[in-house]
Amino acid sequence: MVFIVAFSLAAPSYLYVPGSYKNTVSESKLIQDAYAASSVENVKPSVEPVRVARLWIGKQYFVRNAEKIATDTAPYVDKNGRTLVPLRFVAYALGLGEENVIWDQENQTVTIKANITFPKFYTLPQKTLKRTLVFKIGSPEFTVDGETKTMDTVPVLVNGRTMLPARFVAENLDYEVFWNEKRLDVTFVPKIDVKLHEYIDYSKSMMGDIYIVLEGDPHFNPMAGDIKEYSTFFPDDMKVLNSIFGIPIDNADGYNNLRFFYSIIDSPKNPDYGIWYTIDIYHDYQPGTPQYDRFPKVTLDNFDYYVKPLMAIYFPDNYEEITKKIKNIFINSVGKMPQFGVYVVSDVKHPPHLSIDTLYAGGEADPITINLKIQ
């Protein structure tokens, strides 16, 4: 599927989405709704580097980190199967502001002037990007900092809208783009290309404890035989979770006081059939091991920073309330007997589904478990 982005305030002449979302309203009704809902004015660049952003088919808003911003129209899929979203919303979702997107009526061009600071991951240096993209109506050629590139389609004007491929915009700003056909959403996360391998720390046990380390870490050995590329090793959903928490690796042994798992239950006969995140957040942590000392610790002070973006992309209508509830459970669960399903959002058969458990009534280390069925 090719992603297209749109720029202007006019409504499309048609909507078509395969599966569950069908066009049932007239063009005039769409135009009325678009203008009535219009509130995307004077949007400023994101204060924090964008770790995750998401837009939904049929929804007049997008989320960047834990910020929900209303739009003047909803993304849609056209009769050719192309996903169309307004260019401004893609730019805003990636952390840019109104001043970064320029429409030139005389020359029929759209210019994106990007100045992006990316999130900091692990021990990797924080990356910044200054880049200018220019697209011209009717031309398959566009420029990236003056260098000409070619698309497999052309930008077009539809009812006063400039349509551009979202993938070409996002990927040329160093973001990955994920389309989920079941959830009908488009997700953006920073692109990270790093190498990783296992490090055995023999100081922790007789057999040695195994940890994952990344390129740039003092324990990283480029001669190790099991080096893997992050960008090709992880499924899309795991990249989203890694980006939110700032940990571009997956290890069941955990990092600091945070552990997370990705699982797929592929039997339709199983009541838990689907794709799951399981996230354990401990009240305490054990310093002195490579992953504990190098990764951030989740505390009450930064709880919202880590948890709220995750809730925002899966429960955008009430993520503030859900995050507050989970935080209260985290505060009050220390030393109490284990409870399962202490807080539940939606039916497990209709994801996204959330269930919170509290475990191991043993003191300060007692974790809360976030069980999140995402698909």
Which carries the bigger pLDDT value, residue 64 or residue 195?
Answer: 64
Mean pLDDT on 155-170 = 75
38 and 147 inside one domain: yes
Q: Do 203 and 255 fall within a single domain? A: no
Does some domain include residue 322?
A: yes
pLDDT tens string 34-80: 333 334 557 888 889 999 999 999 898 999 999 999 987 778 777 66
- Residue for token digits 């797929």? 264
What is the sign of the dihedral through the CA atoms of 165, 167, 312 and 101?
A: negative
Q: From CA 270, how far away is CA 265, in angstroms rounded?
A: 8
Is the peptide bond preceding residue 49 cis, with omega within 30 degrees of 0? no
Residue at 228 is within a domain = no
pLDDT given for residue 29 in this prediction: 42
Do 101 and 21 share a structural domain?
Answer: yes
Residues 204 and 179 in one domain: no
Q: Are residues 84 and 13 in the same domain?
A: yes
List the CATH number of the domain containing 103: 3.30.457.10
Q: 209: domain range?
A: 194-223
| Claim to verify: residue 169 and residue 32 sit in the same structural domain | yes
Q: Is residue 120 part of a domain?
A: yes
Q: Is residue 151, in this structure, part of any structural domain at all?
A: yes
Q: Which residue has the higher pLDDT, 362 or 328?
A: 328
343 occurs within a structural domain:
yes
Same structural domain for residues 218 and 330? no
Which residues, in sequence order, are bridge partners of residue 54?
63, 187
Whether residue 147 is predicted with pLDDT greater than 70 in this model: the reply is: yes
On whether residue 244 sits in a domain, the answer given is yes
Q: Higher model confidence: residue 83 or residue 51?
A: 51
Average pLDDT of the residues in 297-313:
94
- DSSP code of 234? S
Q: Where do runs of H (alpha helix) occur along the chain?
A: 27-36, 87-93, 166-171, 230-233, 236-245, 290-294, 303-314, 319-332
Assess if residue 229 is contained within a domain. no
The answer to whether 209 and 130 are in contact (CB under 8 A) is: no
| CA-based nearest residue to 167, from 176, 158, 155 | 176
Write the pLDDT tens digit of every residue in 148-161: 999 887 777 766 66
Look at residue 165 and tell me whether its pLDDT is greater than 90.
no
Q: Among 39-48, 119-128, 146-155, 364-373, whose mean pLDDT is lowest?
A: 39-48
Maximum CA pair distance of the chain? Answer: 73
Q: Which amino acid is at 350?
A: H
Does residue 17 have a pLDDT over 60?
Answer: no
**What pTM does this model have?**
0.82
Q: 117-121, 169-173, 217-221 — which one is most confidently predicted on average?
A: 169-173
> Is there a single domain that holds both residue 200 and residue 255?
no
The single residue listed with the structure tokens 């009534």 is: 361
Task: List, in order, residues 6 or more apart from 124 with CB less than 8 Å away.
Answer: 192, 194, 214, 216
Q: What angle in degrees, to the nearest 10, is found between the helix axes of 236-245 and 303-314?
A: 150
Please tell me the predicted confidence (pLDDT) of residue 344: 96
Q: Which residues are paired to 370 by β-bridges? A: 279, 356
Per the domain annotation, does 313 fall within a domain?
Answer: yes
End-of-domain residue from the set 202, 223, 244: 223
Query: How many structural domains comprise the chain?
Result: 3
Check the CA dihedral 9-130-169-149 and report its sign: positive
More confident residue, 301 or 165: 301
- Label residue 58 exposed, middle or buried (CB < 10 Å: 0-12, 13-18, 19+): middle
Asked whether residue 38 falls in the same domain as residue 169, the answer is: yes
pLDDT at 201 over 80: no
φ, ψ of residue 129 to 5 degrees: the values are: -145, 125
Residues 60 and 146 in one domain: yes
In this structure, the answer to whether residues 101 and 180 fall within a common structural domain is yes
298, 242: one domain: yes
